[in-house]
A and B are shown apart, each in its own frame.
Chain A
Amino acid sequence: MTLVLVIPFDNGVVLASDGQVTMGLIKTRAKKIKKFSENCALGASGDLPFIQLVENELISLSEKEKGLCNLRWNLCNKVKASIEKLPPSPQPYSGSFVFVEHKENITHILNIRENGLSVMLENVPFATGIGEQFAYTLLQKYQDLIPDKINAKLAMMLAYKIISETIETISIGVGPPVDIWQLPPVKNLTKNELAGVEETYLILKKAEIEMFLRGPK
């Protein structure tokens, strides 16, 4: 299921996800964002067997540093070819793959669906997975600030807030822990850095409530 979120900022981009994987009746935790190359990170939502198959196919890909614009059709073909390798299933396999790179002050977001269809976006927030509509709703009031008016720390904070509020609201398909990556260069936040962002989020939440209560009566 999953929620993967992309938030560009003034000189880079943040990629975040929830951390829950569902296998039948069992919930467990897994990382949903990975390093694709030195300049590009990959997030995925959908059926785990399909995602893992695609990720294995992508490991063997050559010339990963060529950039998403050059790799786009090759990546689409890899995704499309992967689904044909899976055994038949009563329900069609689903998958949404998000490649994110930041080059020459532009964030490129390439989203490839299970059937190989793709969309390339620049410098806009993006969400995919079961919580995407909820995430876009929460992002709405920040749209005009992205990317130029926010820095890396604010982008991380916003990503954490949106993923957390989605987890707190949606009953199935998403769950803790929140994972955050930043690029360039591709870097996963440490446990301590994540704890710092989490603390800020909790203070913001308390501050919002206190401000509301202190408003005009």
Chain B
Amino acid sequence: MTLTKKDWLLLLLKQSPLDRIHIMKALFLIWHRTGRKIEDYFVFEPYLYGPCSFEVYSVLESMEVDGWIVQPPHPMPQWVNYYLTESGKKESEEAVKRASPETLRLIEIMSEEVSQISFYELLRKVYTEAPDFAVNSMFKEVIK
């Protein structure tokens, strides 16, 4: 069964709470490292900070409205991790049933990898692995 975009986010956040930048880059690296072939997945474009799928923002917003994810109050909410709520955790268990063991393992590895590095290291990793998605980045000359 094909995973929905919300499923990918649920499975990622089930592993570890992440902020928006780390979520964006983790989703990109999942797509990139699987040969850039995932059905009904987010579409990435080379944007000002590297790979970006604008749809990630609206799916996250929709999941907040669904009551599946939440961010602690903060003056800069964009820098704060998203956490699964109780209903989000239940939904993520359902998503696990729809995912293959390989997919779950990939998400686990990716979550572990991105959650332990700073945004600076994360950008460097993404730009090194996928230079074609760094072409429009404002930071490509700085982050080397």
Contact = CB atoms under 8 A, between A and B. Distances in A.
Instruction: Identify the interface centre among B57, B119, B123: most chain A CB within 10 Å of its CB.
Output: B57
Q: Decide if the interface of chain B is mainly helix, strand, loop or mixed.
A: helix
Contact of A207 (B24, B52, B58, B139): B139
B55 A192 contact: yes
Interface residues of B, number: 22
B58 A192 contact: yes
Contacts of A196: 47-48, 52, 54, 57
Contacts of B55: 192
Contact of A195 (B54, B79, B123, B139): B54
B38 interface: no
A191 interface: yes
B48 A157 contact: yes
A190 B61 CA distance: 14
Contacts of A203: 21, 49, 119, 123, 139
A204 B143 CA distance: 11
Interface string B89-116: 0000000000000000000000000000
B58 A204 contact: no
Main SS class of interface, A:
helix
A190 B48 CA distance: 16
Contacts, number: 52
A199 B52 contact: yes
Contact of B138 (A193, A204, A210): A204
Interface in A163-217: 190-193, 195-200, 202-204, 206-207, 210-211
Given A153-B136, A206-B119, A210-B120, A199 B49 contact: yes
B142 A207 contact: yes
B134 to A, nearest CB: 13
Interface of B: 20-21, 24, 47-49, 52, 54-55, 57-58, 76, 78-79, 119-120, 123, 136, 138-139, 142-143
7 contacts: A192-B54, A192-B57, A196-B47, A196-B48, A202-B79, A203-B123, A210-B120
